């Protein structure tokens, strides 16, 4: 199997508490949004830095209306931020926890697909 390079994951920051029902429900809602491949792709792109709809459409290969709708859902769920820059709307990830979650999910998928050994 060919050797593959993996980007280093940032150090995980753990909050010390026992989650309650509301936290499980909110986390589940995040996973539900991540379950769509286009939204996951957009979040992965935004993990690399800010971008506008035109850049995200080009990089994801999606249709502009679909990308805009996905971004609206992500913004309403408070997973991405937006700000105006003249006529452009620029999007970014809300926080590093989401960046880590997206990267870990994709790294997990990579292990499933390549058969590379699991690690902590």
Q: What does the alpha-carbon distance between residue 4 and residue 66 come to, in Å, rounded to a whole number?
A: 32
Tens-place pLDDT, residues 62-106? 999 999 999 999 999 999 999 999 999 999 999 999 999 999 999
- In sequence order, which ranges of 21-63 are alpha helices (DSSP H)? 21-34, 37-47, 53-60
pLDDT at 13: 65
Q: Which residues of 18-46 are buried (b: 16+ CB within 10 A; e: fewer)?
A: eeeeeeeeeeeeeeebbeeeebbbbbbbb
* Region for 117 from its dihedrals, namely left if φ exceeds 0, alpha if ψ lies in -120 to 50, beta otherwise: beta
Tens-place pLDDT, residues 5-43? 444 444 456 778 899 999 999 999 999 999 999 999 999
The model carries a pTM of: 0.84
Query: Topology of domain 21-114, per CATH?
Result: Arc Repressor Mutant, subunit A (1.10.10)
């Amino acid at each position: 199997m060919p050797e593959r390079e993996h980007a280093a994951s940032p150090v995980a920051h753990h909050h010390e508490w026992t989650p309650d029902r509301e936290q499980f429900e909110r986390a589940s809602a995040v996973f539900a949004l991540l379950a769509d491949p286009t939204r996951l792709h957009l979040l992965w792109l935004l993990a690399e830095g800010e971008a506008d709809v035109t850049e995200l459409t080009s990089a994801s290969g999606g249709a502009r209306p679909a990308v805009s709708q996905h971004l609206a859902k992500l913004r309403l769920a408070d997973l991405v931020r937006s700000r105006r820059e003249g006529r452009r709307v620029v999007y970014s990830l809300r926080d590093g926890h989401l960046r880590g979650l997206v990267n870990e999910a994709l790294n997990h998928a990579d292990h499933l697909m390549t058969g590379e050994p699991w690690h902590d």
